[in-house]
């Protein structure tokens, strides 16, 4: 399979379903070899199977991003097999309970911040050397509208996404003039995913765009010469 990503290596977190799976399949369709990460091996194998059936290539790496040293072990394994990483997609996240700020459960909030913020920084730190080895490294981080416009009951998730945005934009500025890396933040907007169904249980998923539409938009973005620090908001 050939495309504009032919011969490139991509890593997608949260790739077992929804937007992550759709992104992985779209990237593979453009010729990238995609490393798929998520907690559930069975779901990853299903995505890998669809990629192979479409003549693409992928490698699964089941792991929990919040486990001790899991990110470091993944980076070590990737560096042991490949010389560079061309695309890192930070997609894995948890919604948490939608609740008033005064009633946020501390234990759950800590878990949410660990995955949505601390694990994302760990991924950036671990894969920065491999991104720098690419001739055109790209970082895509999936965010949410609430990172810029918080609303009632979404405080915990909004805070985590605002922190992720700050990390990614800071990283984009840090590498702007010293490495051929460009970073972008993508807000997928209303999309028919499991997370969306949990947040809006009464919503008809048929009225929402499919994850493949988000994947297509990200692929289109990657084909463009976008400025690092760019934010893409999809309706």
Spell out the per-residue pLDDT of the chain, length 235, in tens: 568 999 999 999 999 999 999 999 999 999 999 999 999 999 999 999 999 999 999 999 999 999 989 999 999 999 999 999 999 999 999 999 999 999 999 999 999 999 999 999 999 999 999 999 999 999 999 999 999 999 999 999 999 999 999 999 999 999 999 999 999 999 999 999 999 999 999 999 999 999 999 999 999 999 998 999 999 999 8
Q: Which of 109, 127, 154, 157 is labelled catalytic?
A: 157
Which pTM was predicted?
0.96
Burial of 92 (0-12, 13-18, 19+ CB in 10 A): buried
Structural domains of the chain ordered from first start: 9-233 (3.40.50.720)
Burial of 103 (0-12, 13-18, 19+ CB in 10 A): exposed
The CB density around residue 101, as the number of other CB atoms within 10 Å, is 14
Going by the DSSP 8-state scheme, the letter that residue 191 receives in this structure is B
CA 217/CA 82 separation, integer angstroms? 27
Residue 171 bears catalytic tag: no
**Which are the contacts of 47, defined by CB distance < 8 A and separation ≥ 6?**
15, 16, 17, 21, 24, 25, 36, 58, 60
CA angle 190, 194, 200 (to 5 degrees): 55
Among positive and negative, which fits the CA dihedral 140, 88, 93, 49?
A: positive
Which residue bears the tokens 């405080």? 155
Structure tokens at 26: 């779209």
């Amino acid at each position: 399979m050939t495309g504009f990503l032919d011969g490139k290596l991509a890593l997608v977190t949260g790739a077992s379903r929804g937007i992550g799976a759709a992104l992985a399949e779209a990237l593979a369709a453009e010729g990238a070899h995609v490393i798929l990460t998520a907690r559930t091996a069975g779901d990853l194998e299903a995505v890998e199977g669809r990629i192979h059936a479409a003549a693409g290539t992928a490698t699964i790496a089941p792991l929990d991003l919040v486990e001790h040293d899991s990110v470091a072990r993944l980076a070590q394994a990737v560096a042991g097999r490949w010389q560079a990483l061309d695309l890192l997609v930070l997609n894995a996240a948890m919604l948490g309970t939608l609740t008033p700020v005064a009633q946020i459960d501390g234990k759950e909030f800590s878990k949410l911040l660990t995955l949505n913020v601390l694990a994302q920084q760990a991924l950036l730190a671990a894969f920065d050397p491999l991104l720098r080895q690419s001739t055109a490294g790209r970082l895509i981080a999936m965010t949410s509208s609430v990172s810029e416009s918080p609303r009632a009951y979404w405080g915990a998730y909004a805070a985590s996404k605002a922190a992720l945005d700050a990390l990614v934009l800071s990283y984009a500025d840090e590498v702007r003039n010293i490495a051929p890396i460009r970073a972008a933040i993508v807000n997928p907007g209303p999309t028919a995913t499991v997370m969306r169904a949990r947040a809006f249980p009464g919503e008809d998923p048929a009225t929402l765009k499919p994850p493949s539409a988000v994947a297509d938009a990200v692929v289109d973005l990657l084909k463009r010469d976008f400025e690092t620090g760019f934010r893409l908001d999809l309706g």
